[in-house]
Amino acid sequence: MSRSAKQVVLVVDDSKSSRSLLVDMLRDLSVEVIEAENGQEGADAALEHVPDLILMDYRMPVMEGPEAVEVIRQHPLAARIPILMITGETAPEKMLSSFQSGVLDFIHKPFDPVQLKAQVASYLRLAEINRRFVLATIDRVTERPNVMALQEDVENEDGANPLLFIRSRQVVEVRHLYGAGIGDKLERALCARIEKIARSIFKVECCLYVIDRGELVLRFLDAENYIDSESAPMIMRAFERYLVAEEFEVENLLFTCEFRLVVSLPGEGVLDDGLIAFSDSQAPGTAPTLVFAGEVVAQHREVIRSNLQTLTSIRNSLREDQVAAYAQPLVDLKTEAVIGYECLMRIRDSAGQILLPGSFLKVAKSSRYYPELTMAMLDQVYSAFRAHPSLYSLNFSSVDIENPQVVKHTLKILSEDTAFARNLVIELVEQEEGSDFSQIRRFLENISSCGARAAIDDFGSGYSNLRRLSELDFHFVKIDGTLVRDIVVSDRARRLVDWVVSFADQARVELIAEFVETAEHRDQLLKMGVGIGQGFYYGRPRPLEELLRGE
């Protein structure tokens, strides 16, 4: 598609004299004029050059004006071009057919130069507005309408038609691996193939939109409800079978694509529901390849309701001092004496029920309340230490360590009370994706300078890869509980724990075994050289105050 710096007017008329006359009259408007001598040539020129304005004769050989207009209107880039019909007739049926094909106005023969120039100038101003809109609503790579156009079309029809969302992750992968040039060609080939398959499979007209790279939407013009909740599974499965069987050749390279399809049936929320289900969809191969938006959205709304309820419980627990510190004893496996406590966060909901971290931490981390929860736990542990001096461990995640408020509060307490610092172990739990490791290292150095120590939780994942361990200042390693649980039945688990013990000896750090559930576990750990343990054999987590009173 070529474009001129000037606005472009396409004149389509089988009469050479009429075209010459129009070109002369338009010369004063400083426009570029393209000529075509029949409707077919005019339609082809319109799609090739995408002019700003088209002057189309009604009666022409090969293809008449109204038919050419209908062809032009089917192309998204040309759909908004103002088209004026040139005619010497005023018969109502001819004017009606012209309007129905997509004509905006008429230029009557014989031409009035003043009126013609005024009409053309007026529609060229409209064309400039239209062009800006078209550029904003057309995907630049595929020249298909984009998500903005989809939103407008769905709104104009009040969600009356079904939508099929299609994702192919290979488009994005190919762009990353082989560059945008090959990726763009693959996506254009994919669009063309989808349109071809859709025309052969579906009994209704449909329009393809590109809403992102590798993410497409088919909008069905389905006035007869051909696609409904009963017919959709069979129809869409047939479409999917044709689609996945395709291979795409780009620059002598063959590509196959996997697809994720989401069907959104007509209704007020057809687009919003489809977008929600589409964004929730997982990578192809890890979930059903065809899902229905209504089902996904129902689950999504239930998750939202649950998350809001959980967030309310978190907020209220902080306001009402209902953040509860629970603890589990840390035990010398040889003497079975309690040497300290791992402190665990719990909150109480409005019904007084104790909520475990698995039910609220994910929601908490996405809110502003999470730092307050950690600081509330640290304050309770500090109060417990002053009343009952002992060793205490407290879980910190990278979210805590990267929060200036939490770090400042922690270092203030540790620097002001060195006795507490010497008896506090900061236990590093899972490392969040994208966390700043250098910031984590600095935090451990800072607490160490105050006298506190660090523990690596769940040895074998997160922070415990060997390269990271070599960079961290830590004093304890906690053996992953699933390994400890299996040492009484699995040679492999015993060999792995033996390796961890050897590593700890070399690194001169102490080991803590989790999930010590039986005397057999304790005996096996002692035999292997593990000195500290915790687990149900020594007690389940209980409120910290209650546990200390019992001691």
Q: How long, in residues, is the chain?
A: 551
* Per-residue pLDDT, 323: 94
* Per-residue pLDDT, 80: 82
* Per-residue pLDDT, 289: 78
> Who's near 355: CB < 8 A, 6+ residues apart?
310, 313, 346, 347, 348, 349
* Per-residue pLDDT, 4: 56
Beta partners for 456? 428, 477
* Per-residue pLDDT, 468: 63
pLDDT at position 97 over 50: yes
* Per-residue pLDDT, 283: 46
* Per-residue pLDDT, 286: 47
Mean pLDDT within 99-107: 88
Q: Which of 233-247, 269-283, 286-300, 391-405 is modeled with the greatest confidence?
A: 391-405
pLDDT at position 465 over 70: no
Mean pLDDT within 312-326: 94
Q: Where does the pLDDT of residue 292 fall: very low under 50, low under 70, confident under 90, or very high at 90 and above? A: confident
* Per-residue pLDDT, 74: 83
* Per-residue pLDDT, 294: 86
pLDDT at position 308 over 70: yes
**Higher pLDDT residue, 472 or 427?**
427
Question: How far is residue 490's CA from residue 483's CA, in Å, rounded to a whole number?
Answer: 9
Q: Where does the pLDDT of residue 27 fall: very low under 50, low under 70, confident under 90, or very high at 90 and above? A: confident
User: What dihedral do alpha carbons 215, 218, 219, 222 form, nearest 10°?
Assistant: -160
* Per-residue pLDDT, 516: 96
* Per-residue pLDDT, 548: 86
* Per-residue pLDDT, 285: 46
* Per-residue pLDDT, 431: 63
Mean pLDDT within 417-442: 85
**How confident is the prediction for the chain on average, in pLDDT?**
89
Mean pLDDT within 518-539: 95
* Per-residue pLDDT, 6: 84
Mean pLDDT within 332-346: 96
* pLDDT-wise least confident of 297-311, 341-355, 399-413, 428-442: 428-442
Mean pLDDT within 350-354: 88
* Per-residue pLDDT, 288: 57
| Under 8 Å between Cβ of 263 and 236 | yes
For residue 432, the 8-state DSSP code is: P
Residue % of the chain over a pLDDT of 70? 94
* Per-residue pLDDT, 132: 77
**E-strand spans in 46-196?**
53-57, 83-87, 105-108, 163-167
Tens of pLDDT along 43-79?
A: 999 988 889 999 999 989 999 999 999 999 888 778 8
pLDDT at position 460 over 60: no
* Per-residue pLDDT, 284: 45
Q: In what order do the strands lie in the sheet with 32-36?
A: 32-36, 8-12, 53-57, 83-87, 105-108
Tens of pLDDT along 173-205?
A: 999 999 999 999 999 999 999 999 999 989 888
Domains and CATH numbers, the chain: 8-137 (3.40.50.2300), 147-299 (3.30.70.270), 321-549 (3.20.20.450)
Nearest-CA neighbor of 328 among 517, 155, 511, 112? 517
Give a three-class secondary structure readout of 390-409: CEEEEEECHHHHCCHHHHHH
Q: Where does the pLDDT of residue 298 fall: very low under 50, low under 70, confident under 90, or very high at 90 and above? A: confident
**Higher pLDDT residue, 289 or 416?**
416
Q: Where does the pLDDT of residue 352 fall: very low under 50, low under 70, confident under 90, or very high at 90 and above? A: confident
C-alpha 298 chain-centroid distance:
18
Q: Is 380 exposed, middle or buried (0-12, 13-18, 19+ CB in 10 A)?
A: buried
Q: Where does the pLDDT of residue 351 fall: very low under 50, low under 70, confident under 90, or very high at 90 and above? A: confident
Question: How far is residue 377's CA from residue 388's CA, in Å, rounded to a whole number?
Answer: 16
pLDDT at position 400 over 70: yes
Mean pLDDT within 390-404: 94
**Higher pLDDT residue, 451 or 303?**
451
